[in-house]
Amino acid sequence: MSNFNVLENEAELVERARNDNSAFDVLYEHYLPRIYAYIVKRVGQRETAEDIVSITFMKVFCNLNKYTKKECSFSAWIYKIATNNLIDFYRKNGRKKEFGMDEMPDKPDGRELPDDYAEKMLDRKLVQRVLAKLNKNHQKILHYKFFAELDYVEIGEAMNITENNARVLTYRALKVFYKHYQKYE
């Protein structure tokens, strides 16, 4: 499984959540920070990320009866919905990201030196610039692997490919990413 904790009895909880709001609340509380982190890393603006997360969980709630474990794991299903909402967002608004000072992700907390923070933000912008140069499949697989921290089984489920194919595509995407990244160094 992936790097984050899997809910105990998640399948049972999903079944209960179809008719029990308190069971859905448990799923929501478990996945909210993960989905939010995944989305905010992609859009860079907290307010926009919050809107997309809200839409994501609204769709999860409204379509819970359509979810089947045979298709994919519950976590992969939620990430699919979040990714589709991100795609919709970028179709409507384009890929351009502009950060205002109050919208900057990961503001320094006082312990981090301003120079270190500035360097970290430049690195993040460079990574975003390089990712934007990749094709959609390479972008998607790298986001699933490194931002959503899904394992290869979950990536395969989210992209409707085999686990082995997820490994190969991730490797290829990283090679292409690195080739573009070297041009900026």
How is the chain split into domains, by residue range?
1-95, 112-185
What's the CATH code, domain 1-95? 1.10.1740.10
State residue 123's pLDDT score: 64
The pLDDT, as a whole number, for residue 35 is 92
Q: Is 8 left (phi over 0), alpha (psi -120 to 50) or beta?
A: beta
One digit per residue, the tens of pLDDT, for the chain of length 185 reads: 444 455 778 889 999 999 888 888 899 999 999 999 889 888 888 888 999 999 999 899 889 989 988 878 898 899 999 998 988 888 887 655 444 333 444 444 455 555 554 454 456 677 778 888 889 888 888 888 877 778 888 888 888 899 889 888 988 888 888 888 888 76
Q: Would the CATH topology of 1-95 be identical to that of 112-185?
A: no
pTM over 0.75: no
Can you give the pLDDT at residue 60? 92
Give the pLDDT confidence score for residue 99 in this predicted structure. 41
| Whole-number CA gyration radius for the chain | 17
Residue with tokens 């999860």: 60
CA dihedral defined by 168, 74, 56, 163, rounded to 10 degrees?
0
Question: What pLDDT sits at residue 105?
Answer: 45
Separation CA 43–CA 45 (nearest Å): 6
Q: Which two tokens stand for residue 171?
A: 């490797």
pLDDT value of position 127: 76
Q: For residues 144 and 159, is the Cβ–Cβ distance under 8 A?
A: yes
The CA distance from 31 to 156, in Å, is 19
CATH architecture of the region 112-185: Orthogonal Bundle (1.10)
